[in-house]
Amino acid sequence: MKKVIYILVALVALGAIGYKLLNNKEQMAANAAVAKIKSDAIPVTITEVASDKLDKSFTAQGNFAPIQSLTLMSETQGQVKSVLKRKGDKVKAGELLVQVESNTMAADLATAQTNAEKAKRDLERYENLAAGDAITKRQLEDARLNVKTTEAQLVAARQRLTKTRITAPISGEINEIYVEVGSYLNPGTKLYDIVNVDKLKLKVKASESEVLLINKGDKVTVKADAGSGEGYEGVVTAIAAQADPTLKFDVEVEVKNAGNNNLRAGMYGTAFFEVADQRDAMLLPREAIVGSIQNPNVYVVKDGVANARKVRVGMVTQNQVEILDGVQPGEQIVRSGQINLREGMKVTMMK
C-alpha cells in the first residue's frame, strides 16, 4: 500500500513540474514576441537642421606653469656656514640665501691686492729707469705685463669672494632646498629650486581651425578646474608656428596670480577664447554626426524610417558643426541612438 502511495506522489510531482515548464515556455515565447514587436522600431531623439549664428568661441584645457623656474647651482666651493632661506620662503632677486666659508677667499683677495699694488709700484720705478736708459725695453714690457696679470688675478679673487654670498637670481618662492649648514659645496652642487608664481603660463593646445582665430595679445578668461571657479584675465603671449604630430598648436596664456596666489603651478585650467566674428550658418549638434569629421554622415528620418546620408561640413565648434551640403533646412536628423541604427530601419521618436 505504501509503495502505491509513493508512486502516486511521484506522478503528481512530475505533473506539477511539467505544467510549470510549459507555463514558463509559453511566457518566454510571449516575451520574445513582445521584444520582436518592440525591436521593429529603434527609439531615437531627433533634431532639425536649422540656420543660426555660428559661434566660433571655444575652450581649451591645459596645465599652469610658473612664469619663471630655475634650479640654483653653486659657483663656489667651501663649507656652508649659514642657510637663510628654506622651503616655502618667499625671496626677492638679490636676497642672500646661503653664506659659504669665506676666510680662504678673503686671504686670496688680500694677497691679490698686495701683488697688484706691488706690480704698479714696480712699473713706476721701471718707467723712471727707462727714461734714463737704465733698463732694457724687454724689462719694461715685462713690468707692464705683470701689472695686467696681477689686476686680472685681483678681479678673479674678488669674484670668488663675492660668490661665497649666494643670492637669489630671481624673485619667487623656494620650492625645494638641497643643502644644510655644514654641507661642503663644489661648483655645480644643487642648492635650491626657485619658482615664480606671481604670474603663470597656461599651456593649451588649439586645432588648426581654432589657431587661426587667435592672435598674440588677445584677452582670454581663464579658470582653474579646482577651487571656487574664479575667473582670471589672461593674455595670449605665444602661439606655436608649427603643429605637433597630432596637428595641434601650442598656445601660451599668461595669467596674473592676484591675491593670495590661489593658482598653483601644475593645476589644470581652462581658457575661454571668445570670438566676436559670427555669421549665419546651417548647424547640427556635434553628436548628430556619424563617423569622423573627415568622413561625416547623418541619419535623415522621413516617414518613420532612417536613411544614412553623406554630408559636407565646415566650421566645427565645441558642440556644433556647420553643414555645407547634404541636408536641407527643416529635415529631421537623428541626434542620439545612432549606435543601433542601420540603413532603412524604422525609428520611434523619444521625447
Condensed to tens digits (0 to 9), the pLDDT of residues 28-71 reads 554 544 444 445 688 988 888 878 777 778 889 999 999 999 99
Which SS3 state, helix, strand or coil, does residue 217 take?
A: coil
Lowest mean pLDDT among 114-128, 188-202, 215-229: 215-229
For residue 230, which of 250, 255, 211 has the smallest C-alpha distance? Answer: 255
pTM, full prediction: 0.60
CA 37 distance to own-chain centroid = 52
Contacting residues for 204 by C-beta, under 8 A, at least 6 apart: 60, 61, 62, 250, 251, 253, 271
Contacting residues for 155 by C-beta, under 8 A, at least 6 apart: none
Sort residue 179 into left (φ over 0), alpha (ψ -120 to 50) or beta.
beta
C-alpha–C-alpha distance, residues 179 and 158, integer Å:
24
Give me 81's grid cell.
656656514
DSSP 8-state symbol, 293: S
C-alpha–C-alpha distance, residues 180 and 165, integer Å:
15
**215-246: per-residue pLDDT in tens?**
999 999 999 887 667 888 999 999 999 999 98
Question: For 305-331, what is the mean pLDDT?
Answer: 85
Are 290 and 338 contacting, i.e. CB atoms less than 8 angstroms apart? yes
Contacting residues for 162 by C-beta, under 8 A, at least 6 apart: none
Give me 280's grid cell.
549665419
pLDDT at 33: 45
For residue 193, which of 174, 170, 165 has the smallest C-alpha distance? Answer: 174
| Residue with more model confidence, 157 or 135 | 157
Are 334 and 289 contacting, i.e. CB atoms less than 8 angstroms apart? no
C-alpha–C-alpha distance, residues 302 and 13, integer Å:
57
Strands 172-177 and 190-206, how do they pair?
antiparallel
Are 55 and 273 contacting, i.e. CB atoms less than 8 angstroms apart? no
Q: Between the CA atoms of 287, 288, 290 and 292, what dihedral angle is there, to the nearest 10 degrees? A: -50
C-alpha–C-alpha distance, residues 178 and 86, integer Å:
10
Give yes or no for residue 298 having a pLDDT over 50: yes
